[in-house]
Structure formats: C-alpha cells, structure tokens
Amino acid sequence: MNTIDFENMEVLFHMTYEKKLFKNLYEHTIESYKNSGNFTALIEGEKCKSLRRFYKEFAKKLEFPSYFNNNWDSLDECLNDLEWLNSKQYVLFFQDFHLLLSKNDKIQKRIFMNLLGSSVKEWREGRNYDSFPTLPSPFHIVIHGNDAVLNELKSNKEINEIHLF
C-alpha cells in the first residue's frame, strides 16, 4: 500500500511500524498534494527529543506566526488555528514518533498526546465559539512508531480509531 485516500477516510489517526512504508506514503502524498490546496508536513522525532527542539520543529514545519511562544498553550492555539496556511485539509506525518520528547519526562509526552487528540477532534467537528467559528476540516495524523506509541494512542480518550497500515 503506497497510498491512503485522505479525502474519503473517516479515520484520522494512521500508524505503521514500517519506516519504508511510512516514507513511501509521505512521498506519494507530497507529490499528489502539489497545487491541491492541502497541507502536508513531516515532523521528525529525531529532531524533537527535547521540549525546546520539539517546539522549534513544530514552529518551522507548520510555519507558525511570530507570536508563537514555546509553551503548550501557544502550541494548542496555533495547532487549532493554522489560518496562515490557507488549506482545506491537513496531514501531519510523524516519523519516529517514539523519539518525540524522549529526553523529557513522560508527563510532557502525555500532555502532547492529549493536545494532539483534542486538536484532531476540534478540526473534525469544527468550532462554534469565540468570534472565529470554523467549519469541520480533515486533519489527519500519520505516525511511524512502535508498540509503545500504539498503546499511547489507544489510551487517549480523544482518539476513537486508529488505522494500522
């Protein structure tokens, strides 16, 4: 399998153990999304071992605005906005997810997992609060990881289903 039909896929979390399969899907998605109005980014776990580098990688890859601060509230705000990307669909690829925040305590990783789950849910349902309501938009997460990552995903109450490929 070299492709996932993100346009018609109800499941928003996707995971594989195989790095080659992950890379092939990423390359195929990048190629097929050219000039499509969809956004794709690759977050590399190797570059996100510490919290400081984690924030830096997100800010760079998701082109966060200058007001982004290196803290969870700011990441949550930017991840749930992304209006500067002007896209109709988002696909975030996480290579070596098990390395994310590996130099920090497990609490930081749990905070991120909860934030990621609630962000995907908010994008799926849309927002109808504040003065900036939004329509539902597809927001897919594609993960290369191991059994520990799969268990973390399964234990997150915001994540209803995981597509293993």
Q: Which sign, positive or negative, has the C-alpha torsion 149, 56, 78, 32?
A: negative
Distance, CA of 98 to CA of 140 (rounded, Å): 18
Does a structural domain hold residue 6?
no
Q: Which residues contact residue 109 at a Cβ distance below 8 angstroms, ignoring those fewer than 6 apart?
A: 100, 101, 152
Please provide residue 157's backbone torsions phi and psi, each rounded to the nearest 5 degrees.
Answer: -65, -20
Residue 97 pLDDT exceeds 80: yes
Quote the number of domains for the chain.
1
User: Is 146 part of a structural domain of the chain?
Assistant: yes
Burial class (CB in 10 A: 0-12, 13-18, 19+), 73: exposed
Summarize pLDDT for 24-65 with one digit per residue, the tens: 999 999 999 888 989 999 999 999 999 999 999 999 999 999
CATH number at residue 149: 3.30.370.10
Ranges of H-type helices in the chain: 19-33, 51-61, 72-79, 106-125, 147-154
Q: What's the domain range around 65?
A: 11-164
Parallel/antiparallel/unpaired status of strands 13-16 and 38-44: unpaired
Q: Which residue has the tokens 């906005």?
A: 81
| pLDDT tens digit sequence for 114-125 | 999 999 999 999
